[in-house]
A and B are shown apart, each in its own frame.
Chain A
Amino acid sequence: MNDNGTVMQTAPYAVTTDTLNLEALIHAVTSTPPDTAVDAVGPGGITSFVGVVRNENAGRRVLRLEYEGYEPLALRAFERIGAETADRWDVRVALHHRLGTLQIGEASVMIAAASPHRADAFAACRYIIERVKQIVPIWKHEFFEGGDVWIEGATADPDDDTARQNAIRVAGE
Chain B
Amino acid sequence: MSNIRVNVRLFARLKDIVGTGELARGAPLGATARTVWDMLVNEFAELGDYEASISVAINEEYSRMDVAVADGDEIAFLPPVSGG
Contacts and interface: CB of A to CB of B under 8 A. Distances in A.
Interface in B34-84: 53-55, 57, 60-62, 76, 78-84
B57 to A, nearest CB: 5
B12 A150 contact: yes
A100 interface: no
A interface secondary structure, majority? mixed
Contacts of A152: 12-13, 53, 79-82
A4 B59 CA distance: 37
Interface residues of B, number: 21
A153 to B, nearest CB: 4
A70 B80 contact: no
Contacts of A151: 82
Interface in B3-58: 9, 11-13, 15-16, 53-55, 57
Contacts of B79: 139, 150, 152
Interface residues of A, number: 34
Interface of B: 9, 11-13, 15-16, 53-55, 57, 60-62, 76, 78-84
